[in-house]
Amino acid sequence: MEDVVGILKGLRGRTVDTVYDLFFTDKRIIAAILIHPSDFNDIYGKIDLTTILVGGLPKERAVKMRSLDLTESRRSAFANKTVDEILALHRSNFEIDYENIIYATVKEGLLTKSLEIALKNPPGKKVNFSLEKGQVTEAEELVKKVLTAKAK
């Protein structure tokens, strides 16, 4: 059975409105969706009189409330599941096998912090996740722990 070594929670990836929890196992990384842009199609997809008169504030509030609910419900769905079951919970979840990683590095710039993973296949592909300031040390430790030879 595959063991989860650590979890980085609430990382932004692909787009700023896509949020993942990353499950680091002894064989791979599982990127499990918490928030996806398609979760809000019904909110953003309609223009009504309130939007015209008041602006986007009510929609922003609705998106924030749904984001909190989705994060809580999806994280509770991860509980007591195997990594394969977590991977299958959402069509946008994906995995990165450690054997497919060239290097992984935590970058800390003046304004941005990120986890960058370079892949062998497809060649030249990099996967980036934005980190919060408080996640940098945790991400560095986890990358060194599970990807010792590939940590940069």
pLDDT in tens, the chain (152 residues): 789 999 999 999 877 789 999 999 999 999 999 999 888 877 766 666 666 556 667 778 888 888 899 999 999 999 999 999 999 999 999 999 999 999 999 999 888 899 999 999 999 899 999 999 899 999 999 999 998 877 77
Give every strand in the sheet of 101-108, ordered side by side: 94-97, 28-35, 15-25, 4-13, 126-130, 113-119, 101-108
Closest alpha carbon to 96 in 85, 105, 104 = 104
